[in-house]
Amino acid sequence: MAAYEALYRKWRPQTFDDIVAQPHITKTLKNQIIREKTAHAYLFTGSRGTGKTTSARIFAKAVNCLHPKDGNPCLECEICRDADAGALTDLIEIDGASNNGVDEVRNLRDNAAFLPVRCKYKVYIIDEVHMMSAGAFNALLKMIEEPPPYVKFLFATTEIHKVPATILSRCQRFDFRRILPADIAGRIQYIAEHEQFTVSDAAAFRIAALADGGMRDALSLLDQCAAVTDEIGTETVEEAVGVAGTESVYEILRAAAGHDAAAALQRIDLLYRQSKDMTRFADEISQQLRNLMLLKTAPDDPELLACMPDELEQLRSIAEQMPLPAVLQALSEVRACCDRMTRAGNRRMELEMTLIRLCSEEIGQKGDVKALEKRIAALEQQIRSMMQNGVPAAQPVLQKPAPKRNVPAQDLQVEGKPDTAQYTPVKNWATVLERFDEVNPSVSGLLQGSNAFVIEEQNILLMIVRNRLFKKLFMKQDAVALGEAAAQVLGRKYAIRFKCVESEEDKAAPVDVLLERAKAQGIAVDTRQDNA
């Protein structure tokens, strides 16, 4: 009795036409083989299970096939048969993880100097090439740059960022895409038709979603399910893989939308007693939160969602109860939980704490509250500082247009600028301050009683400020924000400059104006003096 062969090995593509969802790569490689314009070095990169090593093997057979068919190997000649059986000495596969030293590469280089035994080309396939050491890469450089005409290199990697630029520049690079769930589900159904079991559409899609873009992972999951029953449904998938059902995920999302932490914790307890994988369940929650995010953002494009059609109505119902900020914050919380669970000793506890936060009434408001608290704290600090040092009295803002005139240089002396220039008063300076007040109310309060002029020839907006604290408290970021507010009102962007002008009576002015502004914003201000 022959040994059982795993599905992912039994159904490994044998020609470029069998490879799923990589037409941008297979078409190019076939054309190169047909026209006999193949390169000496290739680099295949992409996530796991997308066909990198398989494509390298098919390429190695095709360039040496005795009777190629449209760029594909014939699979019938002695070269193809021996290659499939692993008996072709001119096809050398190397694991970069276990052969990553300088000595191994030197041996490879020495062997590459010998002519092929039976084939036209001697082909080296190095899998997980990113695992090679820096010394090994350096030893390989010269060989890759100027190999013998009968040698070809095929590198495969899942971590392209670890491959040195010197290697990348000497290879033709092909990026393998993640395989879409629909393509994986179609391949699963095709295989099921030729095997002794059946798979429902929902189960095929469930396996495809769990595979996360990898065909090999999908076929391994299918193998697990086929060992349970010959009629595979979604329940079979969830039982075989040990994942919670989609209904459990929707139950958690409904609890988050309804702020029902007790319901969420009860569901977690049930799944835990059923020995479900908490980490995988957290990842499933994040996937459905992503669906909610896309549904809230692009409600007219359901094809963006990774879900079955019968699940769409449940998602829409939940989306009506959760505003987009709440969905985004929940997604961020769950993704952070998934990261922590890889290091946590008690994964259930990590997930429970996250779900309690998701079910909190404040979900979706956290960012706004933090921003408001920051603004209030800054304004309170500003007011305390002014109470200790004195604040200038409010001055009426110039509203009446005035003709152009030369302002005395001593009143408008700006460092690095000419002493005299033509100044034009800003007519709607009050409107500019109102716009700036929306962005930074604490700083805009310091501009009460100020005037502004435009120096057109120098593209400068010059402020005359009657607050001696302004020079200390006005920061670069405030100048940028004020410049943007002025550009919105005046229709032109100016460089912001200022000159502080104060009188003796200004120094003794009350703080009533700023206190009233603080009260209007709902800020409680302690006006008691510190006698210490």
Query: Where residue 275 sits, what CATH number does that domain have?
Result: 1.20.272.10
Q: Do 222 and 312 belong together in one domain?
A: no
Q: What is the CATH number of the domain that holds 102?
A: 3.40.50.300
Domain closes at, from 207, 223, 241: 241
Res. 511: pLDDT tops 70? no
Q: What is the pLDDT of residues 274-299, one digit of tens each?
A: 778 888 888 888 888 888 888 888 87
Q: Do 167 and 290 belong together in one domain?
A: no
Residue, of 469 and 110, whose pLDDT is higher: 110
Q: Is residue 530 part of a domain?
A: no
CA-closest candidate to residue 254, choices 320, 346, 162, 158: 320
CB 169 within 8 A of CB 39: no
Share of residues in the chain with pLDDT > 90 (%): 4
**pLDDT level of residue 406 (50, 70, 90 thresholds):** very low
Q: What per-residue confidence (pLDDT) applies to 398?
A: 42
CA-closest candidate to residue 205, choices 175, 180, 177: 180
Residue pointed to by tokens 């890889």: 342
Average confidence (pLDDT) over 374-385: 68
**pLDDT level of residue 333 (50, 70, 90 thresholds):** confident
Q: What is the pLDDT of residues 423-448, one digit of tens each?
A: 888 888 888 888 888 888 777 777 88
Q: Do 92 and 189 belong together in one domain?
A: no
Q: Do 341 and 391 belong together in one domain?
A: no
Average pLDDT score over the chain: 78
Q: How many CA atoms lie within 13 A of 50 on its CB side?
A: 23
pTM comes to 0.59
Q: Do 307 and 228 belong together in one domain?
A: no
3-state class (DSSP) for residue 363: coil
CB 28 within 8 A of CB 174: yes
Number of Cβ within a 10 Å radius of residue 389:
12
Domain closes at, from 222, 241, 260: 241
Q: What per-residue confidence (pLDDT) applies to 154?
A: 92
Q: What is the CATH number of the domain that holds 482?
A: 3.30.300.180
Q: Do 170 and 41 belong together in one domain?
A: yes
Query: Residue 204's domain spans which residues?
Result: 181-241
Average confidence (pLDDT) over 377-382: 70
CB 495 within 8 A of CB 434: no
Q: How many domains does the chain have?
A: 4
CB 169 within 8 A of CB 247: no
Share of residues in the chain with pLDDT > 70 (%): 81
CB 494 within 8 A of CB 453: no
For strand 451-455 and strand 424-425, is the pairing parallel, antiparallel, or unpaired?
antiparallel
**pLDDT level of residue 396 (50, 70, 90 thresholds):** very low
Q: What are phi and psi of 152, to 5 degrees?
A: -130, 145
Q: What is the CATH number of the domain that holds 216?
A: 1.10.8.60
Q: What per-residue confidence (pLDDT) applies to 199?
A: 87
Res. 399: pLDDT tops 50? no
**pLDDT level of residue 270 (50, 70, 90 thresholds):** confident
**pLDDT level of residue 389 (50, 70, 90 thresholds):** low
CA-closest candidate to residue 39, choices 47, 31, 49, 51: 31
Q: Do 440 and 516 belong together in one domain?
A: yes
Q: What is the pLDDT of residues 481-505, one digit of tens each?
A: 888 888 888 888 888 888 887 644 4
**pLDDT level of residue 362 (50, 70, 90 thresholds):** low
Res. 524: pLDDT tops 50? no
Res. 147: pLDDT tops 70? yes
Q: Do 164 and 25 belong together in one domain?
A: yes
Q: What per-residue confidence (pLDDT) applies to 441?
A: 77
Where would I find the beta strands (DSSP E) of 12-167?
A: 41-45, 91-95, 122-127, 151-157
Q: Do 216 and 344 belong together in one domain?
A: no
Res. 183: pLDDT tops 80? yes
Q: What per-residue confidence (pLDDT) applies to 413?
A: 40
Q: Is residue 63 part of a domain?
A: yes
Q: Which contiguous run of DSSP H or E holds residue 465?
A: strand 460-465
Residues 6+ apart with CB under 8 A from 70: 30, 34
Res. 416: pLDDT tops 80? no
CB 74 within 8 A of CB 32: no
Q: What per-residue confidence (pLDDT) applies to 373?
A: 61
Domain closes at, from 122, 149, 175: 175
Q: What per-residue confidence (pLDDT) applies to 414?
A: 54
Q: Do 54 and 146 belong together in one domain?
A: yes
Q: How far apart are CA 178 and CA 237, in angstroms?
A: 22
Average confidence (pLDDT) over 31-35: 90
Res. 367: pLDDT tops 60? no
Q: What is the pLDDT of residues 211-226, one digit of tens each?
A: 878 888 888 888 888 8
Res. 410: pLDDT tops 50? no
Residue, of 4 and 184, whose pLDDT is higher: 184
Number of Cβ within a 10 Å radius of residue 35:
9
Res. 69: pLDDT tops 70? yes
Using a 10 angstrom Cβ sphere, with 0-12 exposed, 13-18 middle and 19 or more buried, the burial of residue 116 is middle
For strand 451-455 and strand 460-465, is the pairing parallel, antiparallel, or unpaired?
antiparallel
Q: Do 457 and 489 belong together in one domain?
A: yes
Q: Is residue 12 part of a domain?
A: yes
Average confidence (pLDDT) over 394-417: 42
Q: Do 51 and 161 belong together in one domain?
A: yes
